[in-house]
Amino acid sequence: MRALIRSAARLYPKAWRDRYGAEFDALLEDMSPSFGDVWDVLRNVVRARVSMPADAGLALAPVAGSSMTARLPVALSIGAHGVILTLFLVAAVGYVTPMPSHRAIAPLPPPVPEAPPQMTDARVFPEALTLYSSLPLAHTEEAELPLYVAVGVGINFFPLPDIGAVYRQGNEEWRVWPGQALESFIVRRVLPQFPRDADTRGNVSVFIEYLIRRDGSVNVLRTSGPAPFSAAARAAIGQWRYRPLEYDDQRCEIVSRVEVRFDGQFVQDGAR
């Protein structure tokens, strides 16, 4: 340990060594140096180098009473600087917090497709024409889909605000995609028929929540509303068929919601 400290002491400026070198060496002979003393000397060497005028640099003379060559302190200095730099780099790397990796619990919705041009059934949803995208009134030559007209019945494909909500049933869960976003994926749809024996006064809304399977078929999960109307809606929407939905080149199952509105007043008045 003394040899190490003597080597480190050779890094002091020459003026300092000329003045204190002999007595510093005597001090080392008297004391029991530790490894911490090496660092202590190196730290004060830097301080002395900064505060004292430069001398012959690293072309150092041996400390009195020592036979070590002048090359050793240079190597020690380079080694010490290397250790300090390495510790600094390790500490710097330790401060870099890796970004958390997120994994979606279910596929996210694809970009919202542009809705196909369709006429809006203003008779069933007269209060919000721009919001509702109901079934067309009549066949059109350009339309690829078989279109249906049913007196007093309309479909409200829910708009986008609940996009991405999570639907859970048992141990399974799916992302909820609003019907509006998926409307253009429908390849077969059947409009519910107004129940013949039902009360025709006023409007009735039935809410349908259904699962679009990987093959595009529909499984109605739950409905709300009076029995004859909800049964009619369930029977019709259960026959719908979608183009298989894909995310990341994988077919996926999606939950969607629509509102079926039955307009009794319109039935009483008859078709236009």
Binding site for other proteins (CB under 8 A): 5, 16, 20, 22-28, 30-31, 33, 36-37, 40-45, 47-48
**How near is the Cβ of 6 to other proteins at its closest, in Å?**
10
Given the complex with other proteins, which of 76 and 198 has the nearer CB atom?
Answer: 76
* 107: β partners: none
Q: In b/e form, how buried is each residue of 101-134, taking b as 16+ CB within 10 angstroms?
A: eeeeebbebbeeeeeeebebbebbbeeeeeebbb
**How near is the Cβ of 56 to other proteins at its closest, in Å?**
19
Name the residue among 258, 105, 245, 223 with its Cα closest to residue 167: 105
Expressed in angstroms, the distance from the first to the final Cα of the chain is 107
**How near is the Cβ of 32 to other proteins at its closest, in Å?**
11
**How near is the Cβ of 22 to other proteins at its closest, in Å?**
5
Given the complex with other proteins, which of 43 and 139 has the nearer CB atom?
Answer: 43
Could you give the C-alpha distances from 60 to 26, 169, 263, in angstroms and in order? 20, 81, 103
Asked if 205 contacts 176 with a C-beta cutoff of 8 angstroms, the reply is no
Given the complex with other proteins, which of 32 and 171 has the nearer CB atom?
Answer: 32
Given the complex with other proteins, which of 33 and 192 has the nearer CB atom?
Answer: 33
Would you give the distance in Å from CA 117 to the centre of its chain? 34
**How near is the Cβ of 165 to other proteins at its closest, in Å?**
57
Given the complex with other proteins, which of 37 and 209 has the nearer CB atom?
Answer: 37
**How near is the Cβ of 1 to other proteins at its closest, in Å?**
11
Given the complex with other proteins, which of 26 and 85 has the nearer CB atom?
Answer: 26
Asked if 218 contacts 237 with a C-beta cutoff of 8 angstroms, the reply is yes
φ, ψ for residue 22, nearest 5 deg: -65, -45
* 250: β partners: 247
